[in-house]
Amino acid sequence: MKKKIILSFLMLLTGIVAFSQATLLKFEPVSFSKVNITDNFWKPKMTLVATKTLNACIYQTETATPRIKNFINVAKNDGQKHQGIFFDDSDVYKALEAMAYSLKNNPSPELEKKADEWIDIIASAQQPDGYLNTYFTLEKTQKRWSDMDKHEDYCAGHMIEAAIAYYNTTGKRKLLDVAIRFANHIDSTFRLQNRHWISGHEEIEVALVKLYKNTGNKKYLDLADWYLQQRGHGYYSRNPATQDYYQDRLPVVEQTRITGHAVRAMYLYTGAADVGATNNDTAYMNAMKLVWEDVVHRNMYITGGIGSSGKNEGFTIDYDLPNEHAYCETCASVGMIFWNQRMNTLTGDAKYIDVLERSLYNGALSGLSLSGDRFFYGNPLASTGNHGRSEWFGCACCPSNISRLISSLGDYIFAKNESGIWVNLFVGSDTKILLGKNEVALKMETNYPLDGNVKIQVSPAKTISFKLHIRKPGWSSGTAVPGGLYRFDTANSSPSEIKISLNGKNIAATEENNYYIIDRAWKKGDVIAYSMTMEAKRVVSRDEVLTNKGRIALQRGPLVYCIEGADNEGKAWNFIFPGNVAVAEKAYSVVDEKVIALSAKVPVFTIGTDGLSAGTIIKEITAIPYYSWCNRGNNQMQVWLPTKIIDIKANY
């Protein structure tokens, strides 16, 4: 036992030493494992995931579907056939990763026992050479590694991430050893033989960098870089359309446009940012900046969702952003959060956190029901009532993905380097951060996003000078989205005001990279009060977004709003929203969720008793946060509201 503990410690220490050699990063995130979340908004959602969502994932994985059964059948080796989709293994791994994060936030002997049971089953299915994939082992043993689009390395990547998360939470390394053997198998099969190969569904690049950071073994970083360098040479296809779909037309360092499948793209660019940062490779960083601008400036929804087309589950042409037929896969929004965090640490600019926050509170959170056990795969911005939440999906990537995101929320709140601490998200929490040899305790209290008041208590073990950076949100400064794809209608929206005080006295702070910076000698018990006025603002699109011409959207703080039929006599398409209409706030509930709703008195269309003639009456309509829609059954919904008669549905 003592030998095992020493080995684990040396492994972790080696990883930390290796990671410290990176020089491109402006700072590094504080791990979720060091952050205790007490937030009024997020803590209940994390508890919901730990109880309801993960229970749904477990039931679907081992009882309602044959996902776990496939691993059992591999170990039995009695001729059973694979059941389900060829990449179903990945859902098991993502659920395990979410379970690992949840165990840190909500310790549960029962959940840990279930995870250990799954890990034993997975380990029993590993082949002698390290290979592990139930589809090919049960169905096509002789054809493994013969089809780049069969997700073998995608599944491997999710297994590696689950293994690292579970090891870091519990100290148990059985799954980590399985993951290492599989990674070694992949390395010897491809990189060491220089056998050309691209991953049809990116993910392993991110996982391999994590494996390098946690083991200190540079071959995993080299393998991640090798995967990236395989792209853009025609190894998968010579067809330009196919190359675009797989982000394979150009080498990664030469890419400037977002193309193809949205989730695959997000994982690719997250991996490229990780490799670029760790290898001090500015070529990756420069490419990522250009691709990011293409996404955010021309191809992102106001919710932070991406992917306008269900046909390719991704991107089409610039400014093609339909609302009712928006795809906006939940997993793509999760990927946006991963990628934007990396861009923030690479550049030190809070504009990336603005986008991360937009995706987190809107595009991603919409994917999880308020009950925790129903889900959206796609997240449209308008509906005539034909969209509904599901208990599960045949392709079930989204439930476990949103679970692992929410359970690891602590990863995105704070960051640090040797000279400072960054506050990126306003989430009630506490942590202890080591600056040199001095431990600095931080405690953040807030009711965000219901209001914009934040209190941060700074308590170093002994007086220490450092810079505290507090994000200045784009929504407070008049910038709806970097690049101007969406902007606030300043004629009808007041600018937000931010006040900062230290120990009860107002102070001025310098600004840099969209952060306020307070540089001083901090002592135990110092308190920063950070106050942001938060009110409803109208948002308009660039004219190139044709579906939004003549329309406005409502946003309050980080939250995008929608009109849903459940709050408006079953209708959400029967009104216009003139630009000069006053918008009021009111305390409201959607099911059991306490929200700030918005209301306005607007012209509402009615049908005469003859069924033909139409008229208007002034009625109050209610808007709710977009993430909370469709929790009271299927019904009409709109995010972008017409300011004149341009698109009033015939069935209003």
Digit-coded pLDDT (tens) for 108-125: 999 999 999 999 999 999
Q: What is the largest CA-CA distance in the chain?
A: 85
> What is the domain range of residue 156?
2-26+37-412
Q: Is residue 338 assigned to a domain?
A: yes
Do residues 441 and 387 share a domain?
Answer: no
Q: Is residue 483 assigned to a domain?
A: no
Domain boundary among the residues 371, 387, 412 is at 412
Do residues 624 and 554 share a domain?
Answer: yes
Do residues 518 and 557 share a domain?
Answer: no
Q: What is the pLDDT of residue 395?
A: 87
Q: What is the pLDDT of residue 579?
A: 82
List phi, psi (to 5°) of 218.
-70, -15
Q: Is residue 488 assigned to a domain?
A: no
CATH no. for residue 234?
Answer: 1.50.10
Domain boundary among the residues 532, 549, 582 is at 532
Q: Structural domain tally of the chain?
A: 3
> Locate tokens 């599960």: which residue?
392
Do residues 177 and 311 share a domain?
Answer: yes
Annotated active-site residue 329? The verdict is no
- Separation between Cα atoms, residue 624 and residue 555, nearest integer Å: 10
Whole-model pTM above 0.75? yes
Cis peptide before 495 (omega within 30 of 0): no
Q: What is the pLDDT of residue 652?
A: 40
Alpha helices per DSSP H over 34-130: 42-48, 54-59, 67-76, 89-105, 109-124
Q: Which of 331, 397, 562, 630 is catalytic?
A: 397
Q: What is the DSSP string of 298-312?
A: HSB-TTS-B--BTTT
Q: What is the pLDDT of residue 647?
A: 54
Do residues 329 and 292 share a domain?
Answer: yes
Annotated active-site residue 397? The verdict is yes
Q: Is residue 492 assigned to a domain?
A: no
Q: Is residue 480 assigned to a domain?
A: no
Do residues 524 and 544 share a domain?
Answer: no
Q: What is the pLDDT of residue 60?
A: 94
Do residues 171 and 232 share a domain?
Answer: yes
Partners of 593 in beta bridges: 590
Do residues 193 and 90 share a domain?
Answer: yes
Q: What is the pLDDT of residue 266?
A: 97
Partners of 541 in beta bridges: 486
Do residues 71 and 182 share a domain?
Answer: yes
Do residues 335 and 458 share a domain?
Answer: no
Q: Is residue 652 assigned to a domain?
A: no
CATH no. for residue 450?
Answer: 2.60.40.1180
Partners of 527 in beta bridges: 457
Do residues 140 and 253 share a domain?
Answer: yes
Q: Which of 202, 313, 329, 564 is catalytic?
A: 313
Q: Is 158 left (phi over 0), alpha (psi -120 to 50) or beta?
A: alpha
Q: Is residue 193 assigned to a domain?
A: yes
Q: With a cut of 70, which residues of the chain have pLDDT below it?
A: 1-23, 492-493, 608-614, 646-652
Do residues 77 and 133 share a domain?
Answer: yes
Q: Is residue 11 assigned to a domain?
A: yes
